[in-house]
Structure 1
């Protein structure tokens, strides 16, 4: 059985990784940063403790970037492998079916108050929705 080669745009994948970092800096910074610091308990840290936390997060940004590149790569293959759904539609289905249930499961089992659980879920779920919409558009239109 012969299969057709799937073509993906590696520049679009790299752009998706870079855009995820930019969106994350905005999302967890000026847009929702104060609430996010409250949710993770960093709002009570001294300025020195907060700087130390930021310094220790450096390697984690690299790990997150690599994981996001992998995520965009897999999404690119899934989008390229079908003509039945647009890139945006495919990205939304994956977000709704895999990201949201996984995120909800992780948030439900924290020791946070119900209000904090909802805040965490909405901030992270909203970020992921925005990210997947960006990925879907990027991969659909930049072929």
Structure 2
């Protein structure tokens, strides 16, 4: 399989889906709690380079989305016909099995609080689930 033989529309839409989840999660749902957990004020956040932050975050979302698309295409090339449920659960499993333990380990060593861990872990579970749904319907 060619590394770039994926549905690029699906890759971009899944990345956008994850990005939208982040906007909702770190905005109206958990925004205030997240700011308190990281120790930032709204003024400090506004002082950041928003173009770099959002552009970088979207670039990372594209990499994650492409990786899922490539993984699912690799399975298909081997003859697997994964259901929507299997793709969503695989995506959720990536977050639960790889992302959450990785950030948990980082947060333990950097002595960050549990609240921040649960906010960020919840986000990544939702992020990958949203991407899995898009990739399931746009293979």
TM-score scaled by structure 2?
0.82
Runs of 4+ that moved beyond 2 A: 3-8
Contact 2:19 2:61 in 1 (8 A): no
Task: Give me the CA root mean square deviation.
Answer: 2.3
- The match for 2:31 is 33
Q: CA deviation at 1:89?
A: 2.4
- The match for 2:47 is 52
Q: How many residues were matched structurally?
A: 132
For residues 99-114 of structure 1, what are the structure 2 equivalents within 5 Å?
Answer: 99-112=99-112
Extract unaligned runs of 5+ from structure 1. none
**Aligned partner of residue 42 in structure 1, secondary structure:** coil
Separation in structure 2 between the aligned mates of residue 137 and residue 50 of structure 1, nearest angstrom? 31
TM-score scaled by structure 1?
0.80
The structure whose RCO (Cα within 8 Å, separation 6+) is larger is 2
Higher CA-based Rg: 1
Contact 1:23 1:131 in 2 (8 A): yes
